[in-house]
Structure 1
Amino acid sequence: MNEFENASKSLSQRMLDVVEVVGNKVPHPVVIFLILIAIVLLLSHVLFLTGASVTYQVINPDTHEVETATTTARSLLTASGIRDMYTGLVPNFMGFTAIGLLIVAMVGVGVAEEAGLINSLIRKLVAVSPGWAMTYILAFVGILSSIAADAGYVVLIPLAGAAFMSLGRNPLAGLALGFAAVGGAFNVNLLIKPLDAVLTEITNDAIHMVDPSISISLTGGLWFSVASVLLLTVVIALVTERVIEPRLGKYEPASPGDVGETTDAMLSAKELRGLRYALVALVGVLLAFGLLTIPAAAPLRNPETGALIGNSPFMNALIVPIMFLFLATGVAYGLGAGTMRTAGEVIGAMTKAVSSLGGTILLFLVISQFIAYFNYSNIPTLAAVKMADSLKAANIGPLWLLLGFILVVTALNFIFTPAIAKWAIFAPVFVPLFITLGVDPAAILSAYRVGDSPTNALTPLNAYFALVVGFAQVYDKKAGIGTVVALLLPYSIWMTVTWMALFAGWYLLGLPWGI
């Protein structure tokens, strides 16, 4: 039995090694996306010439109206397509929200990192936490980071790598764990987040197409979401320890001065004083934003409904308090520890952090054009509707149809990543269908969450995929796309299999999906 297991592990490791080698032989990501742009240009014109089109019902997230839409392929090589590419170059780039989010976050994170706060916090966490628990803690926190929208990508992932380094473990495994947790489990949480409000509204609009008397609440799938968080925390941690770390082996820094080599968990008196100062600053930031959010008429609540959770200024721009939190605590730590004493040093840390994003910003410029051209061509919508129609026509039972639905969403997520846009197309097709089969609407939305998450960390259309490649190159100059794909593939496979099993078991047992 042991020999068989070892052989199996050896085979799986060899397969991942092949994936990494082949993936790393592809050109620079900028070149890859330029090639993809060329492919989209040609494919859009071919589909345009063949008159490819689909007619379907879609829910307008703004008006909540069910509309009949016809989408036809649009060519980027026609006069109108060329005009759109020419005039859209700058707007496409400026409208790419990942750029602003990344820069704003790094303004605060850069100060905290340069002052030494992040290093000290990680060492303190290592000192007070059992070694075995660190993997589970990082996985759990990574999953919960989706409450802050995309901030987890730029904050939690590099922190996970640094935390593994401080433990003497391979930092690439930490990055993989962070990316799997933040991206692969993005659609579930223990708390209600802004995305939940939009998905629930679209679901209710689709329900009312067949039964106006039925609606689900924001907490309609909460129990399944909580169970999913716990399950995925364990799965991510086990894959990290049983698959990823054994394959990577011991980390060998390229030089003694490489980032994060220090593993001494003992803090000096100055560092401890810096942490105390940072704690005071943290309390100050929390009090300030408490005054801006807690009172009934607080300015960061929804001005029309008074809501704080869901659609509110506070939740829609949650990166702002995160930036201030890192900035204030970083400056306070620097003053207490003596590592940052002047305004010039603070501004220098901000400048250094933003300057380090030069290569990433260039890549985002190209990615933003590819995504804009891809969406202009209507290829994602054509693919989504065709796949939905094929699944709808399948003559299978409700559970198998739900599992098939999950797999369709999982596959489509490689080329069509926006969660809201996909659900706006899928909801009016599948929600009425499943309701007529006696399926709880909360189960349908839960199935969509399962399908929409695990491949987030594998698709190059994820705006942060290239960013993670950059994080990996901090520790391994030879790391590339193949490195990240090989690291994340085991997570996506195991998360998909176990999560679908949880969903099937929940459905068969008739457990309540939420409140």
Structure 2
Amino acid sequence: MTIGSRVLNGIERIGNKLPDPVFLFLWLIGGLVVLSLVGAGLGWSAVNPVTGDTLEAASLLSPANLERLIIGMPSTLTDFPPLGIVVTIIYGASVAERSGLFTTAIRAALLNAPKVILTPVIVITGMVSHHASDAAYVVVIPLAAVIFAAVGRHPLAGLAAGFAAVSGGYAGNLFPGAQDALLLGITEPAAHLIDPSYSVNIAGNWFFIVGVVLVFTPIVWFITDRIIEPRLGPWTPKDAPAATADEKQVVTADEKRGLAFAGLTILAMIAVWALITALPGSPFIDPEAEPAQRFNPLYKSLAAFFALTFFLSGAAFGVGSRSVTSHRDLVRMMREGIVQLAPYLVLVFFAAHFVAMFNWSGLGPILAINAAEQLRQINMPAPLLLISVVLVSCFFDLFVGSASAKWSALAPIVVPMFMLLGISPEMTTAAYRMGDSVTNIATPLMSYFPLILTFAQRWDPRFGLGSLMSTMLPYAGAFLIAGLSMVALWVALDLPLGPGVGVHYTPPPPAVAVQLPADGGITGPVAPPEAAAVAGPGAVTR
């Protein structure tokens, strides 16, 4: 057995022993309780260099925190910022998905793609299809294989390109969506641990995710056409399996009419939002804010914009394609979308309590200030700091598939820490997303890996787990190198991450100097009792 096989087998064994993310959060909460007892007993404290408040570690078993936990349990869940944003967008996205808009648009894009640019069309479609959630895996990837076979190219090369785009390019897209709302919604309360006034919006990574599309598309194109397809060898169409009914399906006249209706609706929504923004006294513009912050209301409105656009364009497609015959169909689609959200709702209950309890304990900013001071003494350049976030994210992605679960655990530490080092919460989030994206296609623990293997074995029954991993590793390696380079260059060139969002965070002048005693704990001058609490409500908000 080769060293590579042993490493992969070891990763698989370790991953299989990990608990479900729900119980992983329970373990984290248990460890957090113990750590809070130790911190409170030893008197851990720190001075927030932004607000000047003295932060003291608090036991999570204190009467006040037990009251917060038990009596405030419902509000802790409902106050978790990503929950409201994600559910809002899902109401609209479920109509767009179940009316057939997403899948039909994907089929139309792929079936009509010219042969010469077939690979990049599949890649871009795969990244944009993240808005379709799980449909991206079950529509784009097998259909990419079918289309490659239809034009005489090896279907497994098409499958690899689709898998690389949908899963490996998970950080890329042309427009923000539910994933942006979820991850950036976790970022904001983490930022509040240091700066309670900091605001994060759904467009905070918009330019970055477009950059991922621009960088990853030629990479997948080159690797698919020049490395993977030649390695797979010639394809003999006589060996092709019979196409399924879904794969034979072309875009019908009704569906074309539905796509036209949906396209006009999207254009109308853009026009309405632009008109509201341009009107005097627009609620989307704050004339009293600083120039860089005046459009913050507009950015915050994007969650509603995407929810309404998905809903109305999905309904328009349904009317045009006759998949929606009454208003009851729309209600049913929204209801089914919320039902599919059930696993997330279970996970978010425990994630919300972990994040809130981390805030109540005071450990997040104390650890962040301590770590930031140590890193500041090392004087490591910002690009190298963010590269470390990418690598840590890559490592954890080999074992835990849920992007939101990992970020819920990491954000309360790394976001405040990097803010104190002058890096914006959005840039830290972008680095995390890059790391979470690139290794998805290289780990057999990814939830859709067995499904992709099943798709591949339909074309080649001898195609095993090792075959799929060896096919995808060139993509993963190239993505990692490109992702690290992209993050480093983004910081070095100080490129904007989204509208009004930059790489760097500039805190107000420190109110009190942070002191590091010999024992490594952080202390500061005694502050009035009211300054000892972390600013903000008991349950973390974004």
Partner residue in 2 for 1:387: 371
Question: Which one of 273, 288, 307 corresponds to residue 272 of structure 2?
Answer: 288
Alpha-carbon offset, residue 70 of structure 1: 3.2
Matches of 2:293 and 2:473, distance apart in 1:
34
2:57–2:361 Cα contact (<8 Å) kept: yes
Question: Which one of 15, 22, 37 corresponds to residue 14 of structure 2?
Answer: 22
Partner residue in 2 for 1:159: 136
Q: Evaluate the alpha carbon distance shift between residue 238 and residue 424 of structure 1 in structure 2; reply closer, same or farther with a 3 A threshold.
A: farther
Q: Evaluate the alpha carbon distance shift between residue 287 and residue 347 of structure 1 in structure 2; reply closer, same or farther with a 3 A threshold.
A: same
Q: Evaluate the alpha carbon distance shift between residue 316 and residue 49 of structure 1 in structure 2; reply closer, same or farther with a 3 A threshold.
A: same
Q: What is the aligned-residue RMSD (CA, Å)?
A: 5.1
Written as runs of structure 1 = structure 2, the 5 A alignment for 1:50-61 is 50-58=42-50
Alpha-carbon offset, residue 124 of structure 1: 0.6
Q: Any unmatched runs of 5+ in structure 2?
A: 146-155, 196-204, 232-243, 394-405, 440-444, 455-468, 497-501, 503-542
Percent identity between the aligned chains? 21
Partner residue in 2 for 1:362: 346
Partner residue in 2 for 1:34: 26
Q: Deviations over 1:388-415 (max 9, x none)?
A: 2222223x6xxx5445433555578767
Matches of 2:56 and 2:428, distance apart in 1:
26
1:53–1:73 Cα contact (<8 Å) kept: yes
- Please say which of residues 301-310 and 123-132 is displaced more in the overlay: 301-310
Alpha-carbon offset, residue 24 of structure 1: 3.5
Q: Any unmatched runs of 5+ in structure 1?
A: 1-6, 59-66, 143-151, 207-220, 247-259, 432-443, 460-467, 478-485
**Are 2:279 and 1:273 equivalent residues in the alignment?**
no
Q: Evaluate the alpha carbon distance shift between residue 265 and residue 36 of structure 1 in structure 2; reply closer, same or farther with a 3 A threshold.
A: same
Question: Which one of 45, 48, 52 corresponds to residue 37 of structure 2?
Answer: 45
Alpha-carbon offset, residue 447 of structure 1: 8.0
Q: Deviations over 1:73-122 (max 9, x none)?
A: 22101222212212331222111122222222221121122221111100
Question: Which one of 248, 253, 257 corresponds to residue 264 of structure 1?
Answer: 248
**Are 2:326 and 1:342 equivalent residues in the alignment?**
yes
| Secondary structure at 2:54 match in 1 | strand
- Please say which of residues 28-37 and 366-375 is displaced more in the overlay: 28-37
Alpha-carbon offset, residue 327 of structure 1: 1.3
Name the aligned partner's letter for residue 142 of structure 2: M
| Secondary structure at 2:285 match in 1 | coil
Alpha-carbon offset, residue 501 of structure 1: 4.2
Question: Which one of 115, 118, 124 corresponds to residue 131 of structure 1?
Answer: 118
Alpha-carbon offset, residue 429 of structure 1: 4.8
TM-score of the superposition, structure 1-length normalised?
0.64
Written as runs of structure 1 = structure 2, the 5 A alignment for 1:86-485 is 86-129=70-113, 130-138=117-125, 141=128, 155=132, 158-159=135-136, 162-168=139-145, 177-178=165-166, 181-183=169-171, 230-231=214-215, 234=218, 262-264=246-248, 266-302=250-286, 304=288, 311-394=295-378, 401-407=381-387, 409=389, 426-429=418-421, 451-455=431-435
1:175–1:472 Cα contact (<8 Å) kept: no
Q: Evaluate the alpha carbon distance shift between residue 55 and residue 292 of structure 1 in structure 2; reply closer, same or farther with a 3 A threshold.
A: same
Name the aligned partner's letter for residue 42 of structure 1: V
1:185–1:454 Cα contact (<8 Å) kept: no
Alpha-carbon offset, residue 164 of structure 1: 2.0
Question: Which one of 56, 61, 67 corresponds to residue 83 of structure 1?
Answer: 67
Q: Evaluate the alpha carbon distance shift between residue 381 and residue 449 of structure 1 in structure 2; reply closer, same or farther with a 3 A threshold.
A: same
Q: Evaluate the alpha carbon distance shift between residue 238 and residue 317 of structure 1 in structure 2; reply closer, same or farther with a 3 A threshold.
A: farther
TM-score of the superposition, structure 2-length normalised?
0.61
